[in-house]
Amino acid sequence: MRIIGLDIGSRTVKRVIVEDGRMVGHRVLPGTHDPLSVCEEMLAGQEYDRVVATGYGRRLFAEHREAGMITEIRAAALGVRHVHPTARCILDIGGQDTKVISIRPDGQVGKFEMNDRCAAGTGRFLEVMATALSYSMAEFVRAGDEAEEAQAINAMCTVFAESEVISATARGVDRASMARGLHEAVSRRALAMLRRVELHDDVVFCGGGALNGCLQRFVAEGLGRDVHVPDEPQILAALGAALSALPEPG
């Protein structure tokens, strides 16, 4: 059986193909203003038995195509446990959401936390801040990682934080220390959410935010535990969506 999992997120669309229970391919494209067309492009020329959608676009997609739907919470849990079976806690930083999911020993979702409705402390927040500091994303991450000093950033609202960054720039504050301060701020936010659920090892960090080495470091340091980042951390919800169509084991 060949199943396609689509994770239609706020910034990117992720596609994973699962055949006979194993991942055989994946692809990531920008979501653009028209995620449906991106989904069509992802499906073009593919043969498959089922599609399961997750992410913010799941309902929109299911209105246009015959598709299953699951939330990104359950999808992330399924995907992470597939590649990292001993995961008990997931931090997922995406484009507009940060999620923390605790997983019970039986593999089921125990509890989850999500950030409030705005893009505070998410991937999108860091992108906006990188632009405000005239960095590319890669430069921004490197600068944050290498800076010795951190400029404290208090506001977590994207708009207010940008004002803070601009006024700090006007005071002559070094931009690398702001890069570090912003990464620390996002990590603090994620750590606060992690501490609201019962923490058990292993902690797995996924979503596009997990590609950010500076965030990885601050989260692990703040938590005082190993934080595991799987290969291709941003496609795990799409993988979970595809896996959800498989019959329950046992």
Q: Which span (33-41, 45-53, 65-73, 154-162) binds other proteins, by CB under 8 A?
A: 65-73
- Can residue 163 be called a binding residue for other proteins (CB under 8 A)? no
- The verdict on 199 binding other proteins (CB under 8 A) reads no
DSSP conformation class of 14: E
* Least distance from other proteins to the Cβ atom of residue 111, Å: 7
Q: Is 91 helix (H, G, I), strand (E, B) or coil?
A: strand
Q: Is 195 in the site for other proteins (CB under 8 A)?
A: no
**How far is it, in rounded angstroms, from Cα 241 to Cα 5?**
5
**What tokens were used for 208?**
């596009």
73: contact with other proteins by CB under 8 A: yes
Q: Applying CB under 8 A, does 70 fall inside the site for other proteins?
A: yes
Per-residue burial over 97-133, b = 16 or more CB atoms within 10 Å of its CB, e = otherwise = bbbbbbbeeeeebbebbebeeebbbbbbbbbbbbebb
Whether the Cβ atoms of residue 239 and residue 18 lie closer than 8 Å to each other: yes
Residue whose CB is less far from other proteins, 74 or 88: 74
Q: Is residue 112 part of the contact set for other proteins (CB under 8 A)?
A: yes
* Nearer to other proteins among residue 3 and residue 77 (C-beta): 77
108 contributes a contact to other proteins by CB under 8 A = yes
Pair of tokens at residue 104: 């019970």
Using the rule CB under 8 A, is 109 a contact of other proteins?
yes
- Interatomic CA distance for residues 21 and 223, integer angstroms: 34
Q: Which of residues 22-61 bind other proteins (CB under 8 A)?
A: 56, 59
User: What is the Cα–Cα distance from 225 to 228, expressed in whole angstroms?
Assistant: 10
Q: Least Å distance between CB 80 and other proteins?
A: 15
The smaller minimum CB distance to other proteins, of residues 113 and 127, is found at 113
Single-letter residue type at 49: D
Q: Residues 172, 241: contact at Cβ < 8 Å?
A: no
88 binds other proteins (CB under 8 A): no
72 forms part of the interface with other proteins (CB under 8 A): yes
When binding is defined by CB under 8 A, the residue of 116, 149, 201, 226 that contacts other proteins is: 116
- Asked if residue 114 binds other proteins (CB under 8 A), the reply is yes
Q: In this structure, are residues 146 and 174 in contact, taking their beta carbons and an 8 Å threshold? A: no
- Nearer to other proteins by Cβ, of 151 and 234: the residue is 234
State in angstroms the smallest separation of the CB of 49 from other proteins.
23
CB contact set of 86 (below 8 Å; sequence gap of 6+): 201, 202
CA 208 to chain centre: 4
Chain positions contacting other proteins, by CB under 8 A = 56, 59, 70-74, 97, 108-112, 114, 116-117
